[in-house]
Structure 1
Amino acid sequence: MKRIFVVLFSIVLLSCNQKKEEKNKPPEVTENKDLTPVEPDGGIGDGALPISNHFIKTIEKAHKKDKFLNHKAISFYVNIIFNGKEHLDGKVTMLTNSSKIRIDKKDESKLIYDGKNVYLCPADANDKGARFDMFTWSYFFGLPYKLNDPGTKLEMQNDRMLDNTTHSTAKLTFEAGTGDAPDDWYVIYSDPISKSLQAAAYIVTFGSDGNTSKAEADPHAIRYKEFTTVDDIPFATKWEFYGWTPEKGMTDKLGEATITDITFLESEGKLFDDPENSKIID
């Protein structure tokens, strides 16, 4: 009997010790490599996205990025005046993910990017600034959807004034080897209420062969105005171009562009095929 009592006492004591150890044991942490990183100090709230990510997400939401990308392609007519002269008059067609682009100019020449090469058609058409035109105007049009592209880096900056209103701003830069001009940068202005992209300062380094000093000395800015909606998605139908400095913001007006007939397409067909009588533009 005594022996049985000793055994029962030992079992009870062991059980109590195990419960005590489990109670004092810290909770297990499950490793999850797919967790979104947060700011070291918790960003804008414990467990929140980094502020730069939040900045991007609010712009994408304002411009209905998910709805935009649900469409296959989009086309629009653009007329660009720079320094009092017409720079471009034509129709731009692009896949909504920007992987293919086509420009049909008023003079009936064409520029086509098939995802690999830029083609000029006819082959004897004026090729001055062709590659610049191919990528610049479609990029300005799609900028609200490009802030989180592969190779992009975004850094929050101080608030800046635009039309006597304080706007949040962030600097967009690119990793080496990204696109045609990885040394370009943009300063993005976000509307304080709607969160839409209202303006962007930028430099143009295309063709500089790595010497960006001239571009850095002469930044420009694009101002987005006169928004309209197509399929409930906002698009600026008026672009204005200005000089820009970090201290003063926008300075002298340099040009403007008018955007009309914005149309979604649900099939690309042969729009981006290599045309006959064309040449590749490097």
Structure 2
Amino acid sequence: MKNLTYLAIVMLIAACQPGKKAEENQTEEVAYQAPEHHSESLTKVLDAHGGYELWSKMKSLSYTKGDEYTITNLQNRKIRLETPEQTIGFDGKEVWVTPDTVDASRARFYHNLYFYFYAMPFVVGDPGAFHEDVEPRELKGKTYNGIKISYGENIGDAPDDSYILWLDPATNKMEWLMYTVTYRSGEPNDTYKLIKYDQWTVVNGLTLPTAIQWYQFENDVVGEMRNEVKFENIELSVEPPSDSLFVMPENAQIAPLNVGKG
């Protein structure tokens, strides 16, 4: 009887000890490492806006711009834009427009235009982007540090587009964006347009704009503000949107690819 009692106690103690298999299954948390193609300067600006690590975990972004509602799957960049007149979607292969009676000639160019402006600076961290520090410059009486972004061949519909982020040297936050448009011409150019970012909100730990402003910019001189676009009802989530949102309906038309059409 004594032997049985002793054996039971030994078995009970052994059961309470962590086994080798359990210890082997425990994994240490791996520290985040920025993608190899990110420059040191880009990492600093991304960190100032909440960090690329956190951005990479997000799967859904939605907002309204006037009467236009946009939702994007951040992992595969499928997108859906709804207005009272039409719906534009990208299913991962084709840009589609419904109803099939509306003019779809600009839909391919437009479908992710504001998403890219809105999701700056995170979107320039995408694979295929090249980052280069440029000389500081003055804009509206303040000197900013700059990062130029260009793209490799066959990256998106307009790989010759380029961007320059202008950063507050004290905070590394982005305050201005210069960009070129090459979609229709298909040819690179050095005529930049200019956007100011100075209205922000924090959503799930990431700093996103509530408004962006286009400024006149000719002969390398900043003029007056010419347009402002506001964003509302901003939602950012680690949960992906339903893939059914991006499926092309039966009554939709495929938007033409107008690169090089002038």
Alignment TM class, shorter chain as reference:
0.7 to 0.9
Count residues in correspondence.
220
Local SS of the residue matching 1:60? helix
Q: CA deviation at 1:91?
A: 0.8
Distance 1:191 1:242 in 2: 18
**2:122 maps to 1:148:** no
Match of 2:193 in 1: 220
Q: Is the 8 A contact 1:121 1:276 kept in 2?
A: no
1:8-67 deviations in Å (ceiling 9; x for gaps): xxxxxxxxxxxxxxxxxxxxxxxxxxxx9xxxxxxxxxxxx99x7111101111222322
Aligned partner letter, 2:83 = K
Q: CA deviation at 1:273?
A: 1.5
Match of 1:274 among 237, 243, 248: 248
Structure 2: gaps (5+ residues): 1-33, 257-262
Match of 1:254 in 2: 226
Distance 1:164 1:98 in 2: 40
1:213-270 deviations in Å (ceiling 9; x for gaps): 5xx34x211111211111222111111012335743x324332100001012413212
- After TM superposition, the runs of 4+ consecutive aligned structure 1 residues lying more than 4 A away are none
Match of 1:198 in 2: 175
Distance 1:102 1:120 in 2: 10
Local SS of the residue matching 1:69? helix
Q: CA deviation at 1:98?
A: 5.5
Local SS of the residue matching 1:147? helix
Q: CA deviation at 1:139?
A: 0.8
Q: Judging changes above 3 Å, is the alpha-carbon distance between structure 1 residues 267 and 178 closer, same or farther for their aligned structure 2 residues?
A: closer
Local SS of the residue matching 1:97? coil
Match of 2:73 in 1: 95
Aligned partner letter, 1:96 = L
Local SS of the residue matching 1:68? helix
Match of 1:55 in 2: 41
Structure 1: gaps (5+ residues): 1-35, 37-48, 80-88
Q: Judging changes above 3 Å, is the alpha-carbon distance between structure 1 residues 246 and 201 closer, same or farther for their aligned structure 2 residues?
A: farther
Q: Judging changes above 3 Å, is the alpha-carbon distance between structure 1 residues 150 and 239 closer, same or farther for their aligned structure 2 residues?
A: same
Aligned partner letter, 1:258 = K
1:141-175 deviations in Å (ceiling 9; x for gaps): 12211223222112111112234322110211112
Q: Judging changes above 3 Å, is the alpha-carbon distance between structure 1 residues 182 and 274 closer, same or farther for their aligned structure 2 residues?
A: same
Match of 1:77 in 2: 64
1:90-116 deviations in Å (ceiling 9; x for gaps): 011112235211111132x11111111
Match of 1:30 in 2: none
Correspondences of 1:1-282 after superposition (within 5 Å): 53-64=39-50, 65-79=52-66, 89-97=67-75, 99-107=77-85, 109-210=86-187, 212=188, 216-217=190-191, 219-245=192-218, 247-248=220-221, 250-265=222-237, 266-269=239-242, 270-282=244-256
Local SS of the residue matching 1:131? helix
TM-score (norm 2): 0.76
Q: Judging changes above 3 Å, is the alpha-carbon distance between structure 1 residues 57 and 110 closer, same or farther for their aligned structure 2 residues?
A: same
Aligned partner letter, 2:194 = A
Identity of matched residues, %: 25
Q: Is the 8 A contact 2:129 2:152 kept in 1?
A: yes
Aligned partner letter, 2:57 = N
Local SS of the residue matching 1:238? strand
Q: CA deviation at 1:196?
A: 1.9
Local SS of the residue matching 2:102? coil
